[in-house]
Amino acid sequence: MAIFHKYLYNINFLHTDLTTKETKESKYIMYDDLIEHRRLQAQRSVLIEIQSYRSCNDVHKYCSRYGKIKNIFYYSNSRLLRHFAFIEFEHQEHIDKILSISTHINYEQIIPVHSSNLWYRNLNKSINNTIFKESKTQFCKYTCKILQDGDIIKILKDISTISEQILSLYEATKLNDIGVRLRFYTAYQIERSFHGLFPNIAILPFGSTVNGFGKQNCDLDLSLHFEKEKIEKMNSNLVFHTKYFSITDKHRVQNVMEIIAGIMNICIPGIFNIRKILQARVPIIKFDHKLTEIECDLSMTNTSAYYMSELLYMYGEMDWRVRPLIFTIKAWAKNCSLTKDTAGPWITNFSLSLLVLFFFQQLKILPPLDLLQSCANTNDIRLVDSHIDCTFLRDITKIPQYTLETKEESLEKLLLNFFNYYSTFDFETKAISLRKGKPILKPEQCALYICNPLEINLNVSKNVKIEEKHRIQYEMRNAVWTMENQSKLKNLGLINLIFNRKEAVTVKFKESINIKKIFETDNSIV
C-alpha cells in the first residue's frame, strides 16, 4: 500500500503550492516501476457496464462476495451516454473468481470469449433507492467529458496571475488517474486475449499515456512485444518448435499484424473501426475502444518509442514546471492552428515538447542526453532494433546537480522567455539537439531541424514547410507582444494569449505606427 500511495502522489506530477511555487518532497518513481505498477492494476481490474450511478452500490455488494475490492470508480461515457463501474480488486485470484461466475447469453449469436469487459444485470428487483442512500461506500466519480474552450476560460478568468493560470490549465486538462487506468486496462485486455498463443506477450503503452504529457482525450499508443524477457533457459533440455519471424522483415511484420487485426476485429469485445496502415515506415493498426472511448494505435516495430517515452517522463520529473509549460504551449499552438489533428506540413505536439525541453536545457534546468549517457551504468544499457542505443541513466536522483539563478523563475517568466528565445532563433542554419543540449549546425537543408534524441540521424520535424516555420515565429512574436501588454488587454493573461488572439493581434496592429520599419527589422518574413 505504501508504494501505491507514493506512486499516486508522483503520477499527479507534484502538488504545488501556488503562492510559494515550491514543490513538496516526493520519492522519484522509476519508469519501469511505474509501468509495472499500472500493469498490475490493470490485471486486477474489471470494467462493468451499469444502468446508472445508482447501480454502483449493487455492483459493489455483488462483487464483494468474490473478493476484496481495493478501488471502485464510476465514470460515464459522454459520447455514447453509457455508465460504468471500474473495479480494482486486491488480488489477481479475485478476478479469476469473478470471471468464473460470469456467464454468456444468446450462445447461438455470439463468439463466447472470456473477457474482463462485463455488464451487470440486476436479478434482485427488490433492491430499492433507500438501500442505495443508506450505503456508506464511497465511489470515486469521474466523467469522460472533455473540457471545451469555454469551460477552460471560466476556470482561468478568476485567477489573478499567469503562473497560477498555467498551473490551473495543466490540472484541468491533464490525463487523470481514471484516464491512465483505463488506458492500461485497454492494453491488458488485448494482451490477455492473445495469452493462449503467446503466454509471455506484453502490450505496453507508450507516448503521452506514460510520459506525463497526456491530455484527457489523448490517443493510446501501444507496442506489442512477444517476449517480455528474451532470455534463453540454458539449463533446459526442451526447446519449443517455432516458425521463423524477424522484426526487421517488414513483409512478415505486415502479415502478422494483418492476422492480429482480424482477430481483434472479430473476437475482442469493445474494439471496432479497425484501420490497417501497414505500408507506413512503422506499420500500425488503428482502432477505437467504444467502452473506454479511447482511440488506439498498435505497433510492433516501435521499440525505441517506448524508451523515448521513458526519457520524456524523466525530464518531466526533473522539474515541476516542465509539464505545465508544455501543456500551455500545446494549447497556445492548437488555438493558433500551428498544430492540427491530422498529419501535414505543420509542427507536431511531439516536436513542440522537444522545443520546450531544449529551452529548459539552455537554462541548465535540464541536463543534455549526453550527460545522462555518460552517467549510465550496466543496468541502464538498452539496445533496440539492432542499432539504436537507448542507454542513459534511469535514476534521476543520481544525476549531477544542475543549479543556476534561473532555477526559481516563475512559470510566467519562463513562458515569456520561451517565446522570446524561439521567435529569434536561427532556424536557417541551426538544429535543435537535446543530446548535446545546445544548437548545432544543420546536418541537411530543411525548414526546421529537431534531432530525435535517440535516433540521431532522424529529423522529427522534417515534415514542416518553410511557410509553417515563418508562421511559428510570427505567432511567437505576437505572443511576446501580448504578454508584455497585458494592461492594454484587460489583464486576462492566458485568456488573451490562447483564446482571445484576434483581439490581441488587432490591438497590436493599431499600436503599430511604422509598418515598413517592422519588416525592415524582420528578415525572416518573406
Task: Provide the pLDDT for residue 129.
Answer: 44
357: left (phi over 0), alpha (psi -120 to 50) or beta: alpha
> Which residue in the block uniquely carries the three cell numbers 456508506?
136
Task: Provide the pLDDT for residue 228.
Answer: 62
Confidence of residue 128 (pLDDT cuts 50, 70, 90): very low
Specify the pairing of strand 294-299 against strand 140-143: unpaired
Question: For the chain, what is the mean pLDDT?
Answer: 84
The 8 Å CB, 24+ separation contacts for 394-399 are: 394/30, 394/31, 394/32, 394/310, 394/314, 395/28, 395/30, 396/28, 396/314, 396/317, 396/318, 397/28, 399/318, 399/367, 399/371, 399/372, 399/375
Rg (CA), the chain: 25
Confidence of residue 344 (pLDDT cuts 50, 70, 90): very high
Task: Provide the pLDDT for residue 356.
Answer: 98
The answer to whether 272 and 116 are in contact (CB under 8 A) is no
Strands annotated E in 144-229: 202-206, 220-225
Cα 481 to the center of its chain, rounded Å = 31
Q: Which residues contact 259 (CB under 8 A, 6 or more apart)?
A: none
Residue ranges and CATH numbers for the domains of the chain are 44-145 (3.30.70.330), 181-304 (3.30.460.10), 321-366+402-520 (1.10.1410.10)
Task: Provide the pLDDT for residue 136.
Answer: 52
Percentage of the residues of the chain whose pLDDT score is greater than 70: 82
Task: Provide the pLDDT for residue 336.
Answer: 94
Task: Provide the pLDDT for residue 517.
Answer: 42
Task: Provide the pLDDT for residue 216.
Answer: 87
**Angle, CA of 417, 423 and 424, to the nearest 5°:** 100
Q: Give the burial string for 132-156 (b: 16+ CB within 10 Å, else e).
A: eeeeeeebeebebeebeeeebbeeb
* pLDDT greater than 70 at residue 504: no
Task: Provide the pLDDT for residue 261.
Answer: 95
* pLDDT greater than 70 at residue 511: no
**Of 74-78, 283-287, 319-323, which gets the smallest average pLDDT?**
74-78
The residue ranking higher by pLDDT, 74 or 134, is: 74
Residue 46: in which H helix or E strand, if any? strand 45-50
Query: How much is the pTM?
Result: 0.86
Confidence of residue 20 (pLDDT cuts 50, 70, 90): very low
